[in-house]
Amino acid sequence: MEKVLVTGADGFIGSHLVEKLIKEEYKVRAFVFYNSFNSWGWIDSLSAEIKNKIEIFSGDVRDPNGVYESMKGVDAVFHLAALIGIPFSYHSPDSYVDTNIKGTLNILQAARRLSTIKRVFITSTSEVYGTAQFVPITEVHPFQGQSPYSATKISADRIAESFYRSFDLPVTIVRPFNTFGPRQSARAIIPSIIIQALSGKSKIKLGDITPTRDMVYISDTIDGFVEIFKSNKTIGEEINIATQTELSVNEIAGEIFMQMKLNCEIETDNERIRPDKSEIKRLLGSNEKLKKLTSWKQKVSFEEGIRKTIDWFSDKKNQSMYKSDIYNM
């Protein structure tokens, strides 16, 4: 397989995946969200050497014709384009249905029509599991839609499964747990804490600090995607990318404060608190299936990942792209 398409290439995980695939000498077509500013999102921040090797396709995954055109002549598709902010999904669920469900359907329909497509990777999320009913969470854990966002991702996963079972489409569902690192949105917990701290705030605004998460550094998540891509054993499978460890939000904040040598207080911000039945209380993923089917292993510890993330956000150029005084939904 020589040429791959990455949708959502302008986003956090997508841009890192594009960068990795280019370094692995694949030909990459990057599907970025069309806009009148001619912005390619995080692709714009990549080195000139990397950018010169990327073929850019501007479009919208909600448009079936554009999706079909973008997939012509590629061997594999990594579908990462999605709306992901949970608070935003509370008041704009229609847009999540259009992007996450219909967008995924457009990818699958185009793949059926095009004879060149040999692999389709649908990006899921650990949010589809809801609060853990058992740990570590394996791929057979029940699904629970605890937000409109997670409900649309469950739906997209099940449509993808149906295309594998009904049409023998070579689909793989890739399910990262809580990925963090450089370029992550300020709506996420780790960038939110770091950005507030770097702006000189002594009181860090957070929501509920008791939920636990399975934190995966971005390079380990990307390695997971690539290893799953390289293995034919992963066709028709749903696969977690997880560290199989958990940390509470309070513990995450504590590690950041320690590494940044800060004496900060945590202040509860009601705007950041999810409805009780919507909050996912515990996530701890199993990576046994990933290790069984591929050669993946975790390379970056949580502590090292935090250090790398702090270093990136400490760069004034990178800081300038974030608004510390605004809660980003």
User: ∠161-162-163 over CA atoms, to 5°?
Assistant: 90
| Residue 122 falls inside a structural domain | yes
Which CATH number fits the domain that encloses residue 12?
A: 3.40.50.720
Residue 170 structural domain: 3-180+215-241
| Residue 246 falls inside a structural domain | no
Domains held by the chain: number: 1
pLDDT in tens, the chain (329 residues): 689 999 999 999 999 999 999 999 999 999 999 999 999 999 999 999 999 999 999 999 999 999 999 999 999 999 999 999 999 999 999 999 999 999 999 999 999 999 899 999 999 999 999 999 999 999 999 999 999 999 999 999 999 999 999 999 999 999 999 999 999 998 899 999 999 999 888 899 999 999 999 999 999 999 999 999 999 999 999 999 999 999 999 999 999 999 999 999 999 998 899 999 999 999 999 999 999 999 999 999 999 999 999 999 999 999 888 876 777 65
| DSSP string for residues in 14-78 | HHHHHHHHHHTT-EEEEEEE--TT---GGGGGS-HHHHTTEEEEEE-TT-HHHHHHHHTT-SEEE
| Residue 318 falls inside a structural domain | no
| Residue 204 falls inside a structural domain | no
| Residue 250 falls inside a structural domain | no
Which residue has 């890739």 as its token pair?
A: 174
| Residue 40 falls inside a structural domain | yes
Question: 232 by DSSP, 3-state: which?
Answer: helix
DSSP 202: S
Cα–Cα distance between 33 and 14 in angstroms, integer? 12
| Residue 67 falls inside a structural domain | yes
